[in-house]
Structure 1
């Protein structure tokens, strides 16, 4: 074996062989065997015509050269030799290392030596990598494990925010200067594998590390694979690069810092294993450019991450499979990142057709195969798509008669639409064709658009052979599609677990595509578990036909969620409609009435609007209807007979709100929504039966929600209710338990129930109101100052339910100049009601107010309620035990009592103020018995506003004395309310 060692200079070490021979004097001995050629002993022997491989030897070993130490003069490697890297190899200033096409350098690393094994081109040195597509240069490791070695490092003389002669985090490498045109050589067709050695817990080597490398350097056609840190990292500098393939580098594929301002053109990133990001940028923004960046992930993750003030200009971006597209980690300005000429938008996925052709990197010979495919034109034979492939829809794709398109679970089809091509971009299953969508809850089939804008494309259209009032072979308003026949049992295939997003392309002023359009589709077709989101026209529209469908989720389709015409007479079962943006209706029906059925239809609106609209003679039979938040429940636009619309067994009544408990659970569609916003429901209208909320759902309160006489509202631990209030609607937004109704708040210290507001501003909403049947000085069936609420009776032991561990925040909406809502308002609530562990915070009026009644309560925490923390009137005579009041902002009082004195009790009341003020205020004849009183920081302890008798107020067994400060030690420990304050 011949070995060359590069160390300071090139030395050749050869072995010297000693050959021992003997001869026999016995002439009768057999002839000795012929001498065999020995091709590495330095002697001419056997049939050699010269010494070893300098002669005729053909069994010559491949020379192995160890690379280590420093190169101080120009050196060219030999592609026919085997090179082993042991330790670091440093190309010094003034020297050039030339690596011809086909050369392989293998890092042979002992355990623990990974970080000292790398190739570095020092500042002033040069490297010339001369690979070709057929013979790339390869830098790899013998162990074949990520993180085996430190990769290739180049230090240049260009600018960096670290200044001149900065020192790198590894190897004491010096870099950086003032020569932005600095030339460190050239790289073409290079593969770097298994780099990323771990320096310490914060630092690793990269595959290719570029320290202040200048624009005179040329870098093209580089593949960096299987690193434990970044693929390529730019530390400042001005170098540009092109044609990069980056596969499964565990931290970032592309990283820069220190003000790099070059351009990277045509980069393809693949993530099929755990990783961090496609791009990570940090530090000052010198506005580098990325031109044509395509990244594909099969494992989710983050695509583009920018830290501090970093940014870039990116054109030709295509991301596929990432959970997060853009992340500004340090709240840097999104405007620093320009993508396709606009500020980066984290709400966009930037999914789209690849801008870099994977075939450009065929020379890498990666074992990972990334396929992409376009759908366009006509399908005349059966085709099964591949869920591992990204499909891009360009123009229309038509499944012709006799053909079947099968779409397995997890397949993604993206409409890649140029402006002006929206109406010609759709999928159509022609009459006689079939589609088989095989999604699952875990892996639905997704049809979406690259622009992610409503109206981007035409959705999915199916034409069948069933009956329609348009007759046989009718022509659709789009695409010249022919539909309709006489076979009501026609089968156009099956759909299960399908998401359609951003459809509804505008055809003309009168017509648009829908998400799912069904032309005369027959009952042999099965359609279930479909979500249609963000369309500019209808979610689903039935043009005649007999098909039935089930489990539909329809969110923010701008015209109608569900539409039918031409005599559809199937059934839609379990549909949930959500409107949180401008729209038309939940249902629009037009034309002849073939009496289709809707079974379990729940629709929620936060923006008002019309629910059910019927035109001409249309109608339906609807059971299980629940509407919430709509201005109009039923509208007969053309004076058609209301009797055509049967709702829950009776003729439709526009005077009814149909605000019933939801008949369809939104959680059934978590497979389609996949986000916290969609895991929500709206509370509004009236509850006439028993309803138990789901703590996994966020509930939005839109205007009032009334628990009626005989109804029960159960709120489990951990439930959150958010008052989502438009300006001007504050006083209309509250929860009320009517006289005879029941509420059970079932919070715990670990999981309290929370009632708050979306704006998080005091006075946002009206809080929780409970009306009971106990006595009040207002008599029987008194009317409250708000909402026409009726309260009061003769049942002092009346039971309105129970409250345990409840937080109420931001209540106190202003009714008029004299009246406001409170956090918790108790109208004639009886002693059978239990109220314990309640925190009321940041209200603009009182924390809790008792209007008569006999209810007792305990463990109240009241912080910064701007009028009174505790208020009573109308002869309340219960007991409040263990209350802690905190005032750190402007307010009125700890206690305000008014009216007749029924002598209620306060047991252990601790109040602390940092802003002075009055503690206990009594008006008219009111009074109380108070024990365990502790006041701190108040200017006035007791105020009798109307000269009522002080004897009505007994404190610690004696008549109240305004001259006393009552500043005893706290009788209630604020730590007991950590469940509400942490």
Structure 2
């Protein structure tokens, strides 16, 4: 088929070309033939048949295209009216082409069924369709309309809302061309309340069409809308739309990924089935992934509407929205689908939530259709994604949001951002195979009370990468923080315990225990947890950090618990070692180990705990359970007062060797319950050895031990430095601890 180059030849019998000549001749004929920039006349010695000569201005667009037309990127085109690519015609627009609309409501570009458009922009040189006004504003012109032969639930051969073209059919793979790196600006001209142009409208467009890297900027109505069809939409941007930012309806069965939406007036995404019949078929069915919506919005980040449909949405990030998912209370078809599990949102994260924020206004019984988690959204959370650089306008590149919500589950690899302050609104669980990376300087503030905790399940990993002068801090989000404001950090592994295999943890209800002594649950260094210890019941209280069956492959060092409502740090079996640990102001024991723990500990600094400085036991149900708690502790400081001894050897105790043990201001060194027969047998057998142990500033009535048995030689007094500086804070604790 003959190609027509617009700056040389326009061979379109059906195309009206408006010409401005600047000559005395006011004849502006229809262009049937135009070569060398000269149209219909003699000029500069060229014989034009005796008629008046006019320049060939092929940069004015209007009319109809029935053949193949290629624009010229060196020209700036003026869209003076409707420009329609008919069945069999095609329009190719090269990178860098700019089209300015001057025809108001009458100016739009449309592709009819059977026509094709090829927008060949690049990331550094997009195609731009914009307003020709000196003071551009939303609604200056129509927009881009594409009509195809793919199925919709509005029927076959339906008339489009705008441009009055036919769309809809049975060809799911229909091909209306390829659109890449296109920006449409100031669209949305209004015919009536029911007829408004969107930035880009896709009516029954098929999966054979490419639609990616498209931005709508300041559209008067929706930014981009899919009316049925099967076309995919990837790498889409909608900024400052006057209605919804991206909308899909009428049985759309395409998919979408990497959508960045900001500044829309109503819904970030409006997804519906059919406004006349919420159960019309085919039902709108889509999977969306990597979505960012930056508010405010007035109708939710997602408006699930008019029957909704079958939606799966993964990695959904929102910032500054007061409503996550909107569902109209009278939308019975949408409610039925939610109850049926047809709306499934995984890893939705809420950043910068305003006062009165709601995740959803849906009031039905199924409130588990969404799962909170860490999301990167379109790539950088609330900030402009990297893939949008170079071809978009109006995006905020100022960096990530200042606050983001944390809740839900981690099944892949998630890395937090130290520049973000995270709000822990509920449980946040790293599942088997998941990895949570937390860089130095990250702060997580718990706002969810008892329901707020961080847990790592068997097979999951957490990597806390704090630094001596830049720790990771997990704390209360209360204006007046106090012990017990939130749960704490819970880790569950596959290492042996004497509670058995596949036991359920006291808190977080996760499985722990196994046969892998070298199990690896990650690495924790330079972490401070504050105001933990939320209480479920007398038997179920969170500690600052709870380690259930954690293996020796895990690194656990430079960790502080500050003002925990229960124990500061507790080892429930396992083989992990704990070095450079600090526990201050605990409401129960400061550091506790039990259930067959076989790790070691060094450099523990303990101060102001309510009960035992260290509580070490074997098994509360069976003091002789195996494996027996066995450990070597060294360089320990306990600063009292304490009510249950610097060391409470309990529930069968175990095989303990403690060296360089310093105490200050205590009334009891080693406590042993007189009814604990298994613990007594071990002491008499020499399984408990504390040498040397120093007692500074003992209280009135002080005792080395209350153990009444024959072996009184298991404690040997002598000078020690304890954790480094006796009762004073050790030098290794400087910079990352608090309250010492």
Shorter chain as denominator, the TM-score bin is 0.5 to 0.7
Cα gap change, 1:401/1:610 in structure 2, threshold over 3 Å: closer, same or farther? closer
Does 1:669 find its partner at 2:385?
yes
Aligned equivalents of 1:561, 1:645: Cα separation in 2: 20
**Alignment-derived partner of residue 466 in structure 1:** 148
Q: How does 1:633-648 map to 2 (within 5 A)?
A: 637=335
The structural deviation recorded for 1:977 is 2.7
**Alignment-derived partner of residue 829 in structure 1:** 550
Aligned equivalents of 2:651, 2:264: Cα separation in 1: 51
Aligned equivalents of 2:616, 2:218: Cα separation in 1: 53
Aligned equivalents of 1:968, 1:533: Cα separation in 2: 71
Does 1:703 find its partner at 2:426?
yes
**Alignment-derived partner of residue 634 in structure 2:** 907
Q: How does 1:188-587 map to 2 (within 5 A)?
A: 400-401=82-83, 429=108, 431=110, 462-467=144-149, 469=154, 474=159, 476=161, 482-485=164-167, 489-490=175-176, 496=182, 518=202, 527-529=211-213, 540-544=224-228, 548-552=232-236, 563-568=247-252, 570-575=254-259, 587=271
**Alignment-derived partner of residue 437 in structure 2:** 715
Aligned equivalents of 2:215, 2:424: Cα separation in 1: 25
Does 1:857 find its partner at 2:578?
yes
Would you say the 8 A contact 1:616–1:640 is kept in 2?
no
**Alignment-derived partner of residue 978 in structure 1:** 734
**Alignment-derived partner of residue 930 in structure 1:** 658
Does 1:963 find its partner at 2:703?
yes
The structural deviation recorded for 1:516 is 6.3
**Alignment-derived partner of residue 245 in structure 1:** none
Aligned equivalents of 2:643, 2:80: Cα separation in 1: 77
Would you say the 8 A contact 1:723–1:765 is kept in 2?
no
Would you say the 8 A contact 1:784–1:790 is kept in 2?
yes
Would you say the 8 A contact 1:441–1:497 is kept in 2?
no
Aligned equivalents of 2:142, 2:485: Cα separation in 1: 43
Deviations 1:946-981 (A, max 9, x none): 446795864324799943699964532633233414
Among 735, 740, 744, the alignment partner of 2:454 is 735
Deviations 1:830-850 (A, max 9, x none): 334332222333433332111
Does 1:871 find its partner at 2:627?
no
Aligned equivalents of 1:875, 1:513: Cα separation in 2: 70
Q: How does 1:117-128 map to 2 (within 5 A)?
A: none
> What root-mean-square deviation, in Å, do the aligned CA atoms of Structure 1 and Structure 2 show?
6.3
* Larger displacement relative to structure 2 (762-771 or 551-560): 551-560
Would you say the 8 A contact 2:572–2:595 is kept in 1?
yes
The structural deviation recorded for 1:881 is 0.7
**Alignment-derived partner of residue 593 in structure 1:** 282
The structural deviation recorded for 1:730 is 2.4
Would you say the 8 A contact 2:492–2:510 is kept in 1?
yes
Would you say the 8 A contact 2:272–2:308 is kept in 1?
no
Aligned equivalents of 1:427, 1:758: Cα separation in 2: 55
* Larger displacement relative to structure 2 (923-932 or 435-444): 435-444
Cα gap change, 1:398/1:525 in structure 2, threshold over 3 Å: closer, same or farther? farther
Q: Whose radius of gyration is greater, 1 or 2?
A: 1
Aligned equivalents of 1:753, 1:617: Cα separation in 2: 42
Deviations 1:342-361 (A, max 9, x none): xxxxxxxxxxxxxxxxxxxx
Would you say the 8 A contact 1:625–1:660 is kept in 2?
no
The structural deviation recorded for 1:780 is 3.0
Q: How many residue pairs align between the two structures? A: 557
Aligned equivalents of 2:220, 2:543: Cα separation in 1: 42
Does 1:894 find its partner at 2:625?
no
Deviations 1:467-509 (A, max 9, x none): 5636668363xxx7645448965579765468999x999x98x
Aligned equivalents of 2:737, 2:123: Cα separation in 1: 43
**Alignment-derived partner of residue 562 in structure 2:** 841
| SS of 1:739 mapped into structure 2 | coil
Aligned equivalents of 1:408, 1:475: Cα separation in 2: 29
Cα gap change, 1:856/1:557 in structure 2, threshold over 3 Å: closer, same or farther? farther
Aligned equivalents of 2:144, 2:594: Cα separation in 1: 67
Cα gap change, 1:907/1:644 in structure 2, threshold over 3 Å: closer, same or farther? closer
Cα gap change, 1:439/1:832 in structure 2, threshold over 3 Å: closer, same or farther? closer
Aligned equivalents of 2:587, 2:185: Cα separation in 1: 49
Cα gap change, 1:569/1:692 in structure 2, threshold over 3 Å: closer, same or farther? closer
State the TM-score, normalized to the length of structure 2: 0.56
Deviations 1:714-769 (A, max 9, x none): 526437363553xxx32222222223434344444466544445547344432221
Deviations 1:693-729 (A, max 9, x none): 26567466442233334x141526437363553xxx3
Does 1:805 find its partner at 2:518?
no
Cα gap change, 1:825/1:486 in structure 2, threshold over 3 Å: closer, same or farther? closer
Would you say the 8 A contact 2:243–2:264 is kept in 1?
no
The structural deviation recorded for 1:817 is 5.0
Deviations 1:431-470 (A, max 9, x none): 469998979689999999xxxxxxx999985433435636
The structural deviation recorded for 1:575 is 3.9
Aligned equivalents of 1:458, 1:842: Cα separation in 2: 61
| SS of 1:774 mapped into structure 2 | coil
Aligned equivalents of 1:943, 1:579: Cα separation in 2: 65
Cα gap change, 1:719/1:491 in structure 2, threshold over 3 Å: closer, same or farther? farther
**Alignment-derived partner of residue 30 in structure 2:** none
Cα gap change, 1:731/1:857 in structure 2, threshold over 3 Å: closer, same or farther? same
Cα gap change, 1:818/1:445 in structure 2, threshold over 3 Å: closer, same or farther? farther
Aligned equivalents of 1:504, 1:866: Cα separation in 2: 66
* Larger displacement relative to structure 2 (893-902 or 437-446): 437-446
Aligned equivalents of 1:443, 1:636: Cα separation in 2: 39
Cα gap change, 1:742/1:517 in structure 2, threshold over 3 Å: closer, same or farther? same
Aligned equivalents of 1:600, 1:646: Cα separation in 2: 12
Aligned equivalents of 1:582, 1:826: Cα separation in 2: 47
| SS of 1:731 mapped into structure 2 | helix
Cα gap change, 1:695/1:919 in structure 2, threshold over 3 Å: closer, same or farther? farther
Does 1:920 find its partner at 2:646?
yes
| SS of 2:225 mapped into structure 1 | strand
| SS of 1:401 mapped into structure 2 | strand
Would you say the 8 A contact 1:868–1:894 is kept in 2?
yes
Cα gap change, 1:774/1:812 in structure 2, threshold over 3 Å: closer, same or farther? same
**Alignment-derived partner of residue 770 in structure 1:** 491
Bigger relative contact order, structure 1 or 2, given CA contacts below 8 A and separation 6+? 2
Aligned equivalents of 1:583, 1:905: Cα separation in 2: 60
Would you say the 8 A contact 2:501–2:514 is kept in 1?
yes
Aligned equivalents of 1:828, 1:849: Cα separation in 2: 11
Would you say the 8 A contact 2:143–2:184 is kept in 1?
no
